[in-house]
């Protein structure tokens, strides 16, 4: 079980930093480094460096590991779940064959061959299923990263709009204060004019009384 998985992806597959993977899994750096060490055989990339890079297949494997650990599985159970089971046949001890047993033994190679063929086909089916599942999980992980990137851009756009709205509101408040100041000034002017008019009216009345008095 100490052998690393030999099925490796190749090509220009996008890779992710240690910090990005830790943020995606929502775990701290200590936990992620412990998983790198305990489950390195299921990772495509070499994650023993201080700043490892991860492929999509690595993230898919770590997501599976995280879900199994969250469900209470031990490390050994996780290893058994992720590693295809291989059946080892014990070599039969030599024994004396009776004539009837010798005739029966003539058919054993064919039977054993059929059994081994069935086991091999079953193992190949399991491997194909695991490969398909990992590819599907890889696609989901990639889509998740793309969605996070789109969400980040949308959040930045919303923050920009909020800043613009706040600036607009600030300008409107300033404009409102200036208009209110002008209105108060006009009210003061009108009040002063009304007072002057009232004084003029009173003077006119006094003059009229002087004329007729």
Q: Examine the pLDDT at 171 and tell me if it is beyond 80.
A: yes
Contact 3, 40 (CB under 8 A): no
Burial 170-199 (b: 16+ CB within 10 A, else e): eeeeeeeeeeeeeeeeeeeeeeeeeeeeee
Please tell me the least confidently modeled range out of 16-25, 111-120, 160-169, 197-206. 111-120
What domains are there in the chain, each with its CATH number?
16-87+119-166 (1.10.1660.10)
Find out whether 131 and 57 touch, Cβ atoms under 8 Å.
no
pLDDT in tens, 92-130: 444 454 555 454 445 445 544 555 566 766 667 777 777
Residue 212 pLDDT exceeds 90: no
Mean pLDDT of the region 144-151: 81
Contact in structure between 112 and 92 (CB atoms under 8 Å): no
Give the pLDDT confidence score for residue 71 in this predicted structure: 92
Instruction: Give dist(CA 19, CA 22) in Å, integer.
Output: 5
Per-residue pLDDT at 79: 85
Q: What is the mean pLDDT of residues 165-186?
A: 88
For 143-168, letters b (16+ CB in 10 Å) and e give: eebeeeeeeeeeeeeeeeeeeeeeee
Lowest mean pLDDT among 25-34, 140-149, 176-185: 140-149
In degrees and rounded to multiples of 5, residue 44 shows phi and psi of -70, -40
Q: Are 134 and 61 in contact (CB under 8 A)?
A: yes
Sign of the Cα pseudo-torsion (116, 121, 122, 124, in order): positive
The four Cα atoms 18, 21, 27, 32 give a dihedral, to 10 degrees, of -50
Q: Which residues contact 18 (CB under 8 A, 6 or more apart)?
A: 29, 32, 51, 52, 53, 54
pLDDT in the model for residue 117: 61
Chain mean pLDDT for the chain: 76
Q: Are 3 and 14 in contact (CB under 8 A)?
A: no
pLDDT in the model for residue 38: 92
Q: What is the mean pLDDT of residues 159-177?
A: 88
- Asked whether residue 42 carries a pLDDT value surpassing 60, the answer given is yes
Over 70: is that where the pLDDT of 3 sits? no
């Amino acid at each position: 079980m100490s052998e690393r998985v030999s099925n490796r992806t190749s090509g220009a597959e996008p890779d992710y930093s240690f910090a990005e993977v830790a943020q995606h899994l929502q775990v701290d750096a200590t936990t992620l480094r412990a998983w790198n060490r305990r489950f390195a055989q299921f990772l495509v990339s070499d994650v023993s460096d201080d700043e490892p890079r991860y492929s999509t297949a690595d993230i898919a494997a770590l997501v599976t590991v995280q879900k199994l650990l969250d469900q209470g599985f031990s490390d050994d159970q996780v290893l058994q779940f992720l590693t295809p089971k291989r059946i080892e046949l014990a070599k039969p001890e030599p024994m004396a064959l009776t004539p009837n047993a010798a005739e029966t033994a003539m058919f054993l190679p064919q039977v054993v061959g059929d059994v081994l063929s069935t086991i091999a086909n079953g193992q190949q089916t399991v491997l194909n299923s695991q490969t398909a599942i990992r590819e599907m999980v890889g696609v989901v992980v990639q889509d998740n990263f793309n969605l996070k990137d789109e969400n980040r851009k949308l959040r930045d756009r919303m923050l920009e709009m909020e800043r613009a709205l706040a600036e607009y509101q600030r300008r409107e408040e300033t404009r409102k204060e200036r208009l209110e100041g002008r209105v108060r000034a006009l009210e003061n002017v009108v009040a002063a004019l009304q007072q002057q008019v009232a004084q003029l009216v009173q003077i006119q009345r006094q003059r009229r009384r002087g004329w007729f008095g």
